[in-house]
């Protein structure tokens, strides 16, 4: 059972990594669309690190909200399974008739930390592009 839990965690982490590619491309497109706004911020005195933090914060905010909503839904479904036994076990040869669920705070912390780390990497990669960008208010 413990090995099964780690394998499921690994598979779901891979799904998060695939979803992170969507976030990377969305942030990269946002940086390209907001190039003039970035130039204005730079002209107003914002340095490259400040502008990078804006995009890094946006990516982290997006992932944290998504992770929190996902964990809240998981908590609600788990509580409903514990209370109302929504998912039955087929076969009739088991001691219990429903799929057992046990809530462990450590699992929620592990998932939250995984979402945060993947989101940090996925936000940092496109926001790094701002550091290499040349700023100019002239349109060429």
In tens digits, the chain (140 residues) has pLDDT values of: 789 999 999 999 999 999 999 999 999 999 999 988 998 998 899 999 999 999 999 999 999 999 999 999 999 999 999 999 999 888 777 788 888 899 999 999 999 999 999 999 999 999 998 888 887 777 65
- The pLDDT of residue 6 is 94
Distance, CA of 116 to CA of 136 (rounded, Å): 34
Are the beta carbons of 97 and 88 closer than 8 angstroms? yes
Q: Is the pTM of the predicted complex or chain greater than 0.75?
A: yes
- The pLDDT of residue 59 is 94
- The pLDDT of residue 95 is 84
- The pLDDT of residue 139 is 60
Which residues make Cβ contacts (< 8 Å) with residue 126, sequence separation at least 6?
24, 27, 28, 31, 55, 59
- The pLDDT of residue 119 is 96
Distance, CA of 50 to CA of 19 (rounded, Å): 26
* Spans of all domains in the chain: 2-132
């Amino acid at each position: 059972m413990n090995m099964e839990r780690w394998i499921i965690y690994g598979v779901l982490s891979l799904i998060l990594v695939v979803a992170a590619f969507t976030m990377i491309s969305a942030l990269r497109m946002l940086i390209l669309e907001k190039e003039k706004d970035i130039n204005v911020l730079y002209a107003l005195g914002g340095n490259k690190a400040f502008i990078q933090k804006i995009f890094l914060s946006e990516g982290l905010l997006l992932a944290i909200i998504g992770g929190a909503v996902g964990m809240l839904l998981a908590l609600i479904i788990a509580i409903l399974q514990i209370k109302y036994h929504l998912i039955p076990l087929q076969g009739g040869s088991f001691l219990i008739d429903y799929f057992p669920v046990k809530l462990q705070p450590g699992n929620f912390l592990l998932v939250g930390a995984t979402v945060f780390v993947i989101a940090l990497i996925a936000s940092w990669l496109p926001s790094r592009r701002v550091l290499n960008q040349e700023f100019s208010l002239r349109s060429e």
